[in-house]
């Protein structure tokens, strides 16, 4: 996953839609993990697998040494899978927030929501404005 080929939400989640265009991977951006600091815990219930979650709704939390933040859906979808490797080693997000750092895999419900997310260039402008 190349960060230039991903889409980004204002909540600092990224989404990657591979070739099959039905399923996508969701994670947090490098900027977000850097702002959070050392990540120590992901709280995502297995019971969300198969659940439909609308865009901008929370699907879990991420805990760093000094803070806890909600994880938000960038677009509406069904939860297909949780990256179990991160549940046992959440600190990997600090090392690789893209690629193996995906948090959930979803089935996309609203492709027009995907099209409304920011490109890499737009996201870079967005984070520099908020600094």
Cβ neighbourhood burial of 19 (10 Å; 0-12, 13-18, 19+): exposed
126 Cβ contact partners less than 8 Å away, ≥ 6 residues apart: 8, 10, 118
Q: What is the pLDDT of residues 83-99, one digit of tens each?
A: 999 999 999 999 999 88
Written as six digits, the tokens of 19 are: 């070739």
The better pLDDT of the pair 4, 115 is held by: 115
What's this model's pTM, rounded to 2 decimal places? 0.93
Look at residue 5 in the predicted model and tell me its pLDDT. Answer: 84
81 has pLDDT over 80:
yes
Q: What is the mean pLDDT of residues 106-130?
A: 92
* Predicted confidence band of residue 129 (pLDDT cuts 50, 70, 90): confident
Nearest to 95 by CA among 24, 38, 16: 38
State the average pLDDT for the chain.
Answer: 92
- Which residue segments constitute the domains of the chain, with CATH numbers given? 9-121 (2.40.50.100)
* Predicted confidence band of residue 1 (pLDDT cuts 50, 70, 90): low
Q: What is the pLDDT of residues 14-45, one digit of tens each?
A: 999 876 678 999 999 999 999 999 999 999 99
């Amino acid at each position: 996953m190349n960060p230039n080929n991903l889409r980004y939400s204002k909540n600092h989640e990224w989404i990657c839609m591979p070739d099959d265009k039905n399923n996508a991977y969701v994670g947090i951006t490098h900027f977000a993990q850097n702002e959070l600091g050392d990540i120590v815990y992901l709280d995502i219930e297995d019971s969300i697998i198969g659940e439909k979650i609308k865009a901008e709704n929370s699907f879990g939390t991420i805990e760093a040494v000094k803070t806890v933040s909600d994880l938000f859906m960038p677009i509406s979808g069904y939860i297909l899978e949780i990256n179990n490797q991160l549940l046992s080693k959440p600190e990997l997000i600090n090392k690789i927030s893209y690629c193996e750092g995906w948090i959930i895999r979803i089935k996309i419900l609203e492709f027009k929501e995907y099209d409304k997310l920011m490109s890499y260039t737009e996201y870079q402008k967005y984070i520099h404005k908020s600094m």
